[in-house]
């Protein structure tokens, strides 16, 4: 049809990677085994995102609430993160993937903070895919921090409170300069955002799948993208107004 433009794939996909513990429990394995398989799923999905033409991929890797988990599990997760940063960065760099971390990285162990800084510096110029890992991240925490920054700038006389608008607020978020997610996926059958990208997901399309995260792969990401491309995104307007 003349003038018909095919739907575009999402530029930014964000994923709540849920179900590692249940995957392990169902197999009579320790939760750490589920997290290890979850890391393998993350590797598959990064490769799939590159193949599907996705430009930004955000993975909810460790929430601010996850610090409340048993210390042994937190230590296992930190160990897994440490190994991932040491073993995967060279491959990400080779494949043109830029890595960055959003969240309260000050709560991470010092050596992991250093590994993050090194990984970000090494991959900064890569443009094939921007992979963002949300670590020690909470959406409400992010919003409060942005408000605190604006208040401090206004109190110091560097910002007119009347000039504060959505764009000014967005520039103080962890994701400043990154497009909002077009598509948010959550695995494991749960249907909630769990304090993930609350501001940024205002008009995101949501896809929920019953599949547990360690079983999630390229076909599942492709299916979610295909569902997204069937959606009619109106951003609050009516169909006739477009």
Looking at the DSSP bridge assignments, the partners of residue 60 are 16, 134
Q: What are the start-end ranges of the H helices in the chain?
A: 20-26, 31-52, 71-94, 110-123, 139-155, 166-170, 218-230
Q: 36 and 213 in contact (C-beta within 8 Å)?
A: no
Q: What single DSSP character describes residue 163?
A: G
* 18 is known as an active-site residue: yes
Contact 120, 100 (CB under 8 A): yes
Q: Which residues of 63-76 are buried (b: 16+ CB within 10 A; e: fewer)?
A: bbebeebeeeeeeb
Those residues whose C-beta lies under 8 Å from the C-beta of residue 67, and which sit 6 or more positions away, are: 74, 107, 136
Cα separation, 42 vs 11, in Å, equals 18
Q: Strand 56-63: give its sheet, edge to edge.
A: 97-102, 129-137, 56-63, 12-16, 183-186, 205-208
Which residues are registered as beta bridge partners of 205? Answer: 183
Note if 126 is an active site residue. no
Q: Is the Cβ–Cβ distance between 203 and 12 less than 8 Å?
A: no
> Which residue in 20, 66, 182, 195 is the catalytic one?
66
Q: How far apart are CA 88 and CA 68, in angstroms?
A: 27
Catalytic residues: 18, 66
């Amino acid at each position: 049809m003349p003038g018909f433009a095919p739907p575009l794939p999402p530029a930014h996909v964000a994923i709540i990677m849920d179900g590692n513990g249940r995957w392990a429990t169902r197999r009579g394995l320790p939760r750490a085994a589920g997290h290890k398989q979850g890391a393998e799923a993350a590797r598959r999905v990064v490769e799939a995102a590159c193949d599907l033409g996705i430009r930004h991929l955000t993975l909810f890797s460790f929430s601010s609430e996850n610090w409340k988990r048993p210390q042994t599990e937190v230590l296992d997760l930190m160990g897994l993160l440490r190994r991932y940063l040491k073993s995967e960065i060279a491959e990400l760099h080779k494949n043109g993937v830029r890595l960055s971390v959003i969240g309260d990285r000050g709560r991470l162990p010092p050596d992991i903070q250093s590994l993050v800084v090194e990984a970000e510096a090494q991959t900064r110029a890569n443009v094939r895919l921007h992979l963002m890992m949300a670590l020690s991240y909470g959406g409400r925490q992010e919003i409060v921090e942005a408000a605190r920054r604006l208040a401090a700038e206004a109190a110091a006389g560097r910002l007119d409170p009347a000039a504060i608008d959505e764009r000014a607020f967005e520039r103080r978020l962890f994701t400043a300069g990154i497009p909002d997610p077009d598509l948010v996926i959550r695995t494991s059958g749960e249907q909630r955002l769990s304090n993930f990208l609350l501001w940024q997901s205002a008009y995101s399309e949501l896809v929920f799948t019953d599949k547990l995260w360690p079983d999630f792969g390229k076909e599942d990401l492709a299916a979610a993208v295909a569902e997204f491309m069937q959606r009619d995104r109106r951003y609050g307007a009516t169909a006739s107004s477009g």
